[in-house]
Amino acid sequence: MLCESFELTLKEAFRFCDGLKIPSYRYESKIIYPETTQGVNFMLDKMGYFLDKTAFMIKGENLEYLNAVLASKMSFWYLKQICSTLQADGLSMSKIFVEKLPVIETHKIDSTLLKEIESLASEILESKRQKTQELEQRLDSLIYQLYGLNQNEINIIESELQSRERERERERENRGN
């Protein structure tokens, strides 16, 4: 998201320069997980989040399937058995422990079962995203109220952000073509 925002800002700043070429990039999804945690917290990132020094990432293919396996109760139980513990409930999720998880390779799985796992995992992620959007909208509303913004001021903020989001969508579509 930061790269897209920067790219849009550059294009706007140099809109008068004919032929200006901004390098394009292709984002690849990844699974993110924290180095230390009290549960199993794997997240499939399709948006391009940046990581800090206390998180790890997994790149590759079949990430929906892999994320579903990693986020399962079975994986949590297994990691609790092999990970270093921190205080009462904390786990040190170093790469060496996560790599030991017995993940069945996709070519060894019945295709119907694999599709069902991936479909359900995607449905869960979408459901969480929808719920998050509702909560974010409610939070924005409370922040607007906190700052005493009137409807006209709110409309200005919302309109500008929607315009930028539409521009980002067009840019993504253009990159895909």
The whole-angstrom distance between residue 61's C-alpha and the CA centroid of its chain comes to 16
For 83, residues 6+ apart whose C-beta sits below 8 A from its C-beta are 91, 92, 93, 94, 97
Comparing 25-29, 101-105, 108-112, 139-143, the range with the smallest average pLDDT is 25-29
**Structure-model confidence comparison of residues 104 and 23, the more confident one:** 104
What one-character-per-residue DSSP string does the chain give? -HHHHHHHHHHHHTTTSTT--PPP-----EEEEESEESS---EEE-S-----TTEEEE-SS-HHHHHHHHTSHHHHHHHHHHSEEETTTEEE--HHHHTTS-PPPGGGS-HHHHHHHHHHHHHHHHHHHHHHHHHHHHHHHHHHHHTT--HHHHHHHHHHHHHHHHHHHHHHHHHH-
pTM of the model: 0.62
d(CA 45, CA 78): 23
6-10, 76-80, 84-88, range with the lowest pLDDT: 6-10
Q: Give the per-residue pLDDT at 132.
A: 77
Comparing 115 with 5, the larger pLDDT belongs to: 115
What integer pLDDT is reported at residue 56 of this predicted model?
A: 87
Of 64, 73, 60, 125, which is closest to residue 99 (Cα–Cα)?
Answer: 60
Contact assessment for residue 35 and residue 56, using Cβ atoms and an 8 Å cutoff = yes
Query: What confidence category does residue 89 fall into, taking pLDDT thresholds of 50, 70 and 90?
Result: confident
Q: What is the pLDDT of residue 66?
A: 92
Mean pLDDT of 57-69: 90
Total length of the chain = 177
CA–CA dist 72, 28 (Å, integer)? 23
Residue spans per domain, the chain = 2-176
Residue 22 pLDDT > 70, yes or no? no
